[in-house]
Structure 1
Amino acid sequence: MTSGPLVDLAEKRAVVTVELSLTGDPRVLPGRRGLVRRERVIVEGSVERVEASGMRVGTAAPVVVFAQGAADWASLLPSQRVRVQGRLAPSDPGELTAAVLLAGKPPEVLSGPSPPQRAAAALREGLRQACAVLPPAERGLLPGLVAGDLSLMDEQVRHDLKTAGLSHLTAVSGANLAIVASTVLALGRLAGLPLAVRAALTIVAMMCFAVVARPSPSVLRALVMGSVAAVALGTGRAGDGVIALSAAVLGLILFDPGLAAEYGFALSVLATAGILAFAPRWRDRMSRRMPRWAAEAIAVPCAAQAAVTPLLVVMAGELEPVAIPANLLAGPAVAPATVLGFAASVVAPVHLETARWLVRPAGYAVGWIILVARRAAGFPAAILPWPGGAIGLILLVLLAGLGWVVLRRAALRLVACAIAAGVVFTVVVVRPVVASWPPRGWLMVSCDIGQGDALVLSAGVDRAVVVDAGPDPVSVDRCLRALGVERVPLVILTHPHYDHVGGLDGVFRGRRVGAVVTSPGREPRQESARVSADLGRRHVPVWAASPGMNWRLGPVELRIIGPVGEAMSAGPGEGSIANNASVVVHARWTSGSALLSGDVEIEAQSELLRQGLPRADILKVPHHGSARQDPAFLAATGARAALISVGADNDYGHPAPLTMRRLHELGMRVYRTDRQGDVAVVSDHGRLAVVPRGR
């Protein structure tokens, strides 16, 4: 929008009080401010009244609200009216929103949700309660699969689905509606009901599903797209389907012009068009050599993926070769999970125990989807880099044209198949053998998790000690997966800064954890309290670190040497006080030792030096290589190699040039995760050696 009172106030960045009606669900975005977790909320709404500088004006303008404090917003529902104070800012050029509202205070609720939204909330809450009997990953995915409810979704599952090209399963789509409608029709046919009754039941079922999935423009879009695709495939009249699709697209854009700028809408249209235009023809050709149901199962995801690939290239600059086989394998589990989950959501408000019996078999179907996504996401070359924008699109068209020419000639098809087989063999077999990770007999790995720390020390076959978990659960879980870690007898959290504890969920995901050691320091208090509450819910033994504690776990012996003395409360600010209370660990193997120093700064380093610092072959440089280092401390370690866990282009300027110069002057070989990726420590002829994975 380019005009109106809200636009004018946004240009002045005015402080306003607005009354608005929410048009979407509040979405909680994980994040941090500095070294402490700060969750943000984003929600769309329509402003009905705005007050600024004594002026009160009625309007009808769409806005996007950004706010802090997830607890104040997360329980709100679409259609609720709220009053919010904040500062307006202009929206990006081309956006159909009038402004962005940066909320400064919690919302004041003016009215409850509409009856359909209230019914939707009750049904969704019933499904969540029924899913409580499932394991955590399945518990989060089933509501997403049925109704697009991602509130309980595990971040690792979300990442796996995206990498495997399966994230569309958690978006309410025409496929969900088609599954529900087809199931009702089939049951009606088996029961011998007349056609009119079957049609009426189907309409009722689709309306119920629309309520569960929230009545919104996206659900309407899904209803239209799913109906078009289902009717066209069912009748085999793709030409009529294309005409219907065109009319549906035009009608939806007239109804909601904002759809024209949404990638999600474009992907939905292209996928439907691909199914209409290609799937029947490909199915018919393949059915000459295989059963028709198998041909259709292959043709539909291939056609959809072929149609959306050009847009994916423009959007993300990548190709997803693993998406087609992943969709083929996951596809059979989607229908039973959707139908049973939908039935559970309807039954739960009436009889919760019956709903739980319905979600149990749905959990097996969802578990299969999670397994497929996890395996596909870990597959070599699951995502291939590709130039984005117009250049990438042109290259893709040229490649498609070459493929069309090759596939039309029998001799060239054989050559292409041989080349493809060679490429697959190289990627799947040769590359993992030649460039295997981790290196054989690894002792310790510094994980490449961005700006933060996550160290993994081998404690035997499929066992490891984890020292810090980085800021992101997906990244630390990826590192542990690559190392084959299934059991974690000990976790050491050096101090409660977000870049060291934010990824703790990733350590626990699918793994048994024996105990957790934490810093005796309690700064920052908010993050420390959150970690304590999280560990309490997991019922894991928690010990406060103190010098002298030691463990022997597999090949490694660990001894706590810090924090010590008054250094725990020393430092120029709250951040330094928390850093100086870091747990410091001395790790020893038969072939050498390493000093894992958390984020200790000058004050704690000096105190450790005064207490008597053990020498080490490998130094995990404190505080990501910041400038607050005691030169005498660095020299006293006697280390030959220095590991710096640091994020590329971080805002802190880590590692500091002064620290890098001091390390080089001491003769240490420096390894950085921002440049060399994961870094492993191995035993080589009785001495420790460092092996970087490389980016």
Structure 2
Amino acid sequence: MSRFGASAMVRDDGPAERGLRAHALHLVPSALASWVTALVLLGCSPSAGAAVAVVAAVGALLVAVAVPGGGMAGWRNVLIAVLGCAAAVAAAVAFRVHAVGTGPVAELVDRRASAVVEAVITDDPRELPQRGGTFRRESSVVPARIESIATPAGRITLRAPVVMFVSGGEWRSLLPSQRVAVQGRFGPAGSGELLAAVVLVRGPPRVMSGPSWVQRTAGMFRLGLREAAGVLPPLQRGLLPGLVVGDVSHLDRQVRADFKEAGLSHLTAVSGANLAVMAGAAVALARTAGLPLAARALLAVAAMLAFSVVARPSPSVLRALLMGTVAAVALGTGRSRDGVAALSVTVLGLILFDPVLARSYGFALSVCATGGILVLAPRWRDRLAGRMPRWAAEAIAVPAAAQAAVTPVLVLMSGQLAPVAIPANLLAGPAVAPATLLGSVVALVAPLHMGLAQSLVRPAGLAAGWIIEVAEHAAGLPLAVIPWPGGVTGLIILAVAAPIAVLVLRRRWSRRAALAVVTGVVVAVAVVTPAAARWPPRDWLLVACDVGQGDALLVAAGPGRAVVVDAGPDPVLMDRCLRSMGVREVPLVVLTHPHFDHVGGLDGVFRGRRVGAVVVTPHRVAERESTRLSAGLARRRTVEWLARPGATWRFGPSELTVLGPPTEAPPVGGGEGAVVNNASVVVHVRWTAGTALLSGDIETEAQAELLRRGLPRADILKIPHHGSAGHDPAFFAATGARAALISVGTDNDYGHPAPSTLARLNGLGVRVYRTDLSGDLAVVARQGGLAVIPRGRPGRMGSPWP
């Protein structure tokens, strides 16, 4: 939206038009009243909404009859408009709440029953992230509209909005507007969502019809862009479709995390910014052709409409189109106040059409950003223009105004401030337009001539690469994200702090004092804090990474090098741990067994690092996961070795020896999960200062087998299976460990670590360290022995051992 906002700032009207401008601003209270009305009533009963509608309508009539016009006519009309809009929204909400709470779907929800239904997909399936668990699950959320239900008495036709929770890769290729038949169990939707039900779908969908021509055309363009981007490096290949059409299906998870921390996430969703780029290009062409201002605005709207087809006309794209049209109105009239009026009308229309938007953070961010650009940016630009070129002042004012306007929403959402977002958006901004424009051309050309599209995509990839670099460096800066109280409390504190900050910045001496204080804080965070925390510790030997419910261990292999033993469930957390330890090369990866919480983060190990061989269990357990793992390693052209008892490697200060599993067959456990766990690769690590035993997820049977074969002693024991209750009482004692590391997720659903395991370790006098309580855990050499240094979580500082 920055181009529109900037264009709308230029003109200032004389006194004759200020009355009209003030009249336009009278729409703002009506829009806010409608928003608040929907926000409150979405969680109430239909009768409450109907009562509010009646009261507001009667109030509007009373004001119209009882309050005379005269000099108060302006505010009288505003009050009537506010009450009238509130009545309309309250009635709309009451009707929608009643509609989704009654009927055949509501009866199925009450009985938690299952049924076969036909539904039309209304938006793109959204993949759910998996943070832990034993096996990889491809789960997605699919917004849909149920149009028929099969019952013993016959088929019932209806229109009921639902959300379907599905699993399996078959859903990823489906497009909005396709009709599918599924069987699922019905459950209640959350309060205020205006959904008739949540449907837990069993099995794959049965496709009843293809997508509409609009969706089919959009799918063709998106597929062409993905194929053309295949010639780019992996990170650029995943980002470019996201920048252009919001397709993040191949976006690297670490890039996604960097964008979030740097305040650049809006670039990977189709929003007013994408539409502004397209409209800006159309306006530039129109200006070159000498067209008048109104014609430029019409051409801008036409360009946005065409782009909306390419980007796929989903609800979010249509909302972005309306927001872009708001800015086009401001452009066509030359007055930002008209933009504010158009924004108010847009909010009114959208809340009436889809009241659930009142509780959407995405909608709030879009509205606030647009309003900030229209209202704040002109004043800030004019102030800065006296100190720098006008183009530079505009480039700074637009992202700063947008960020300032969305800050209250961000505080409510996540309880944090992101000061790095302004410079990050400023640096990334020049590359957004080339990437979006070239990417759009590539999407249009690809179905006609793939070779030409691949030639055009390379400069777009360079622009995407620059944005990736900006995000990565911005996310790594000190104070990139500042913790802040969340919810209403944080909003109140922000409301108090913001005016104080404005007063401080208005005077030169206070600005200098504030700058000195901020500089001191930055220096303290960037220099003093790392020196005091000493992370990573010097001469570390072993690190248990805090990756949630999973295992990820680093064994020192020399400066900038480490052997990775398991990779946890999340590639973002895995890469973050490696980065924090300064690891640039991984000569060996040991994947103890193919459960997701040990191999799901493998992509994070490969990100930007040279990786040697990968060692896996010699037994073909968990066939599907093992096949997936082997195929992934083959694509990376990485050597895959089978672990053999007695195999030894020496890297830097560390000597690693494989103890198990036995080559012939792993010990048999109870269920499938226990069989896979007992096939874990067990590694003994020796340093000059001591030893450690890394035991994977072995359970009672494999522990007994190790004891039978002869178990070497170890100073440090990585507790198997996250501290579960499945352990041999003699196993812990036989290791002779003085300290135990437990890699476990906070408040996990498995009850890990088990109280019986902790009691057993305490009874043996073993000092226990847990990643859920202390974060990353580092083993270092101290005074001829080993010590454990916890990195510490905020508010939960661990103490070193011994």
- Please report the TM-score for the alignment, with normalisation by the length of structure 2: 0.83
Paired with 2:263 and 2:604, the residues of 1 have a C-alpha distance of 21
Match for residue 332 of structure 1?
430
Over the residues paired in the alignment, what is the CA RMSD in angstroms?
A: 2.0
| 1:45-64 alignment, distance < 5 Å | 45-64=144-163
> By how many angstroms is 1:192 displaced?
7.0
Bigger mean CA offset, 48-57 vs 363-372: 48-57
Change (3 A) 1:105 1:655: closer
> By how many angstroms is 1:197 displaced?
8.7
| 1:166-185 alignment, distance < 5 Å | 166-185=264-283
Match for residue 133 of structure 1?
231
Indicate which of 320, 323, 326 corresponds to 1:228.
Answer: 326
| 1:182-197 alignment, distance < 5 Å | 182-187=280-285, 189-190=287-288
Contact 2:692-2:718 within 8 A present in 1 as well: yes
Contact 2:132-2:596 within 8 A present in 1 as well: no
Residue 15, structure 1, aligned to residue 114, structure 2: yes
Which amino acid in structure 1 is aligned with residue 109 of structure 2?
A: A
Contact 1:456-1:464 within 8 A present in 2 as well: yes
Change (3 A) 1:560 1:300: same
Which amino acid in structure 2 is aligned with residue 415 of structure 1?
A: A
Paired with 2:299 and 2:494, the residues of 1 have a C-alpha distance of 45
Paired with 1:296 and 1:613, the residues of 2 have a C-alpha distance of 69
Which amino acid in structure 2 is aligned with residue 583 of structure 1?
A: V
Match for residue 44 of structure 1?
143
Which amino acid in structure 1 is aligned with residue 135 of structure 2?
A: V
Paired with 1:287 and 1:85, the residues of 2 have a C-alpha distance of 62
Which amino acid in structure 1 is aligned with residue 468 of structure 2?
A: I
> By how many angstroms is 1:567 displaced?
6.7
Contact 2:691-2:714 within 8 A present in 1 as well: yes
| Structure 1: gaps of 5 or more residues | none
Deviations 1:105-131 (CA, angstroms, capped at 9, x unpaired): 322111111111110000000000010
Residue 205, structure 1, aligned to residue 303, structure 2: yes
Match for residue 627 of structure 1?
725
Change (3 A) 1:139 1:506: same
Residue 246, structure 1, aligned to residue 344, structure 2: yes
Describe the SS at the equivalent of 2:330.
helix
Paired with 2:657 and 2:108, the residues of 1 have a C-alpha distance of 61
| 1:2-401 alignment, distance < 5 Å | 2-31=101-130, 34-69=133-168, 71-187=169-285, 189-190=287-288, 202=300, 204-229=302-327, 232=330, 237-401=335-499
Paired with 2:502 and 2:479, the residues of 1 have a C-alpha distance of 23
Change (3 A) 1:58 1:476: same
Deviations 1:404-443 (CA, angstroms, capped at 9, x unpaired): 2222333322222221111122122222222231111111
Deviations 1:56-104 (CA, angstroms, capped at 9, x unpaired): 22112211111121x2211111111112221222222211121122212
Match for residue 517 of structure 2?
419
Contact 2:667-2:701 within 8 A present in 1 as well: no
Residue 456, structure 1, aligned to residue 527, structure 2: no
Contact 1:564-1:604 within 8 A present in 2 as well: no
> By how many angstroms is 1:638 displaced?
2.0
Change (3 A) 1:233 1:373: farther
Match for residue 769 of structure 2?
671
Change (3 A) 1:236 1:60: same
Contact 1:469-1:504 within 8 A present in 2 as well: yes
| 1:521-600 alignment, distance < 5 Å | 521-564=619-662, 568-600=666-698
Describe the SS at the equivalent of 2:250.
coil
Contact 2:677-2:697 within 8 A present in 1 as well: yes
Contact 2:301-2:328 within 8 A present in 1 as well: no
Paired with 1:373 and 1:434, the residues of 2 have a C-alpha distance of 27
Change (3 A) 1:465 1:230: farther
Paired with 2:521 and 2:112, the residues of 1 have a C-alpha distance of 56
Which amino acid in structure 2 is aligned with residue 559 of structure 1?
A: T
Match for residue 538 of structure 2?
440
> By how many angstroms is 1:360 displaced?
0.7
| 1:608-627 alignment, distance < 5 Å | 608-627=706-725
Residue 402, structure 1, aligned to residue 402, structure 2: no
Describe the SS at the equivalent of 2:209.
coil
Paired with 1:668 and 1:258, the residues of 2 have a C-alpha distance of 54
Deviations 1:505-524 (CA, angstroms, capped at 9, x unpaired): 11111212111000112322
Describe the SS at the equivalent of 1:104.
strand
Change (3 A) 1:631 1:213: same
> By how many angstroms is 1:346 displaced?
0.6
> By how many angstroms is 1:526 displaced?
2.3
Paired with 2:218 and 2:412, the residues of 1 have a C-alpha distance of 36
Paired with 1:575 and 1:558, the residues of 2 have a C-alpha distance of 26
Change (3 A) 1:582 1:284: same
Which amino acid in structure 1 is aligned with residue 101 of structure 2?
A: T
Change (3 A) 1:105 1:657: closer
Contact 2:240-2:461 within 8 A present in 1 as well: yes
> By how many angstroms is 1:176 displaced?
0.8
Paired with 2:666 and 2:436, the residues of 1 have a C-alpha distance of 54
Deviations 1:455-491 (CA, angstroms, capped at 9, x unpaired): 0112122211100001111111110111111211110
Paired with 2:540 and 2:669, the residues of 1 have a C-alpha distance of 36
Change (3 A) 1:499 1:124: same
Change (3 A) 1:197 1:345: farther
Change (3 A) 1:201 1:347: farther
Describe the SS at the equivalent of 1:36.
coil
Paired with 1:677 and 1:243, the residues of 2 have a C-alpha distance of 50
Contact 1:124-1:345 within 8 A present in 2 as well: yes
Bigger mean CA offset, 126-135 vs 9-18: 9-18
Change (3 A) 1:75 1:334: same
| Structure 2: gaps of 5 or more residues | 1-99, 794-802
> By how many angstroms is 1:668 displaced?
2.2
Which amino acid in structure 2 is aligned with residue 408 of structure 1?
A: R
Contact 2:120-2:177 within 8 A present in 1 as well: yes
Paired with 2:676 and 2:496, the residues of 1 have a C-alpha distance of 56
Percent identity (aligned)? 65
Paired with 2:674 and 2:101, the residues of 1 have a C-alpha distance of 47
Contact 2:478-2:522 within 8 A present in 1 as well: no
Contact 2:343-2:371 within 8 A present in 1 as well: yes
Contact 1:145-1:170 within 8 A present in 2 as well: yes
Describe the SS at the equivalent of 2:323.
helix
Contact 1:174-1:223 within 8 A present in 2 as well: yes
Paired with 1:558 and 1:192, the residues of 2 have a C-alpha distance of 74
